Amino acid sequence: MKRFAIFLTIGLLSAGGYTALCATTDASHMLPNTVINDVDISGMTLAKATKTLKADADIRRQSSKFTVSFKDNNYTIDVSDALTLDFKTAAKEAYKEGHSGFFTRGFARIKALLAGNHVKHPPVTEDSELLHAQIKASGLLNAFTAAKDTYTIENEKLLLTIGAAQRPDEDKIKKKLITAIQTKDFEHVISCPTISDDIENLERIYQEICTKPINSTLDRNNNYAVTEAVTGVDFDKENAKKILAESEEGETVKIDLIYTQPEISAQNLRDRLFVDNLSSYTTKVSGSSNRRTNVRLAAEKCNGKILLSGDELSFNGAVGEQSAKTGFKPAGATLNGKPVKAYGGGICQVSSTIFAAALFANIEIVERWEHDYVSSYIAAGLDAAVAWNELDFRIANNSIYPIILDVTYTDEYLTVTIRGTKTDDAVVRIETETLDSSTSDTLEVATYRNVYTENKSQLFTEEIAHSKYAR
């Protein structure tokens, strides 16, 4: 019983002491040993601590210039404008300790006296792009080691000697700068962290030696002379990366090269250039002498046009504007469904005849418009209307060989022959289908291109045009 009384007395005295400690702990001031980012704010009010932290942040910001060393060169980086410290939040975070409740004050004070109340509230980069710009402005990002990978090509293999190419690692540079700011280490020269440039070097080498096979073609800038073909070169980049990762600096590794011959060599092109008539289409020219003149002029401007593989022919681009200055005559035409006299009237017969020839040659049709009415010189669905700055007719050479247009006007007949090089035995048939009844005010016609093998097996069919004419 006596022992219990002793323990009870000690407990009451301890409780009283702890209560007294809680009571004497100043609720309006920071605890002892309170430090934020190495700034001692012990015993300060919240307002004074905030002011002190702001002053420290201003000093740090003004002096936030760092020297980064890379390969015996020093680079100065000013990060002041890219950094910010939320000193108000930092002060409030430190103040929370020991000020959450009466009976926790004593424990918090004891803890602060024994272990300290240290708060880390590092500065942050509000604008990563600005920080990047400041690092870039120093010139550091343009630095690299001179020992790049080198290579030679022998016996269809890439012999790659691994260098020691390194470049600055920007992400790690940013982290080191932040650490230096937090520790107030403004004098120490930062050693630049680096990253291997092996992958970048491999990509550089790939771009230098690898190419797709290029067919021989005609040089439009050199009087359509035959160009030399280019053999394709390639290698497996993913496999090359694995080889590099497993190799050491200074080691020479072998990487297999893949060579692909082009489909068309220079000699092949010379032997087969324009040797085949891909198609031919003829229409009869009638009307006034002015109209015939316009047809002849347009035919002359389209005659001899060469389209390399992938090239487009614009009819308006080839013929140009029709006017008295360009030699065209006023002749019958249609404007908004009404007959008119217009310079160049009749040239649509040339575009329509080219359209029909292109259909049978299996040439790609890029742009085509129908007339208001069915034309007298060609069947419905086979015409191609043009109007300067309004309607154009365009085709594209979808063959791997060049093609040439022979457009001639003789003895009242306009003939378009497309010459090129046949690459298969396909046969083209053109069909038109009337889609409406005879009682309709509009004549609708669908134009189909059907492609067959030589033994009449159908390869494909496609709708080329859908035309609507006023009756």
State both tokens at 324: 């008295």
- pLDDT over 80 at 22, yes or no: no
Pairwise pLDDT comparison (339 vs 352), residue with the higher score:
352
Pairwise pLDDT comparison (50 vs 377), residue with the higher score:
377
Can you spell out the DSSP letters for 33-65? TEEETTEE-TT-BHHHHHHHHHHHHHHHHHT-E
Nearest to 235 by CA among 199, 210, 270: 210
Question: Torsions phi, psi of 326, nearest 5?
Answer: -95, 5
The confidence score (pLDDT) of residue 225 equals 96
Per DSSP bridges, beta strands 65-70 and 190-191 are parallel
Q: What percent of the chain has pLDDT over 70?
A: 78
pTM over 0.75: no
Nearest to 266 by CA among 233, 236, 237, 228: 228
- pLDDT over 50 at 11, yes or no: no
Number of DSSP helices (H) and strands (E) in the chain, helices first: 12, 29
- pLDDT tens figures, 386-445: 999 999 999 999 999 999 999 999 989 999 999 999 999 999 999 999 987 667 789 999
d(CA 210, CA 252): 19
Count CB neighbours of 133 within 10 A: 12
The confidence score (pLDDT) of residue 70 equals 79
Q: What percent of the chain has pLDDT over 90?
A: 48
Question: Torsions phi, psi of 448, nearest 5?
Answer: -115, 140
The confidence score (pLDDT) of residue 302 equals 98
- pLDDT tens figures, 63-99: 567 788 877 788 888 777 666 666 677 777 777 766 6
User: Rounded mean pLDDT of 21-28?
Assistant: 59
- pLDDT tens figures, 247-299: 777 788 999 999 999 999 999 999 999 999 999 999 999 999 999 999 999 99
pLDDT-based confidence at 105, cuts 50/70/90?
low
278: number of CA atoms within 13 Å, CB side?
Answer: 29
Domain boundaries, the chain: 23-142, 150-169+191-260, 273-470
Which residues does 167 contact at the CB level (< 8 Å), separation at least 6?
Answer: 141, 143, 144, 145, 194, 195, 197, 200
Q: What is the DSSP letter of 149?
A: -
388: number of CA atoms within 13 Å, CB side?
Answer: 15
User: Rounded mean pLDDT of 25-45?
Assistant: 74
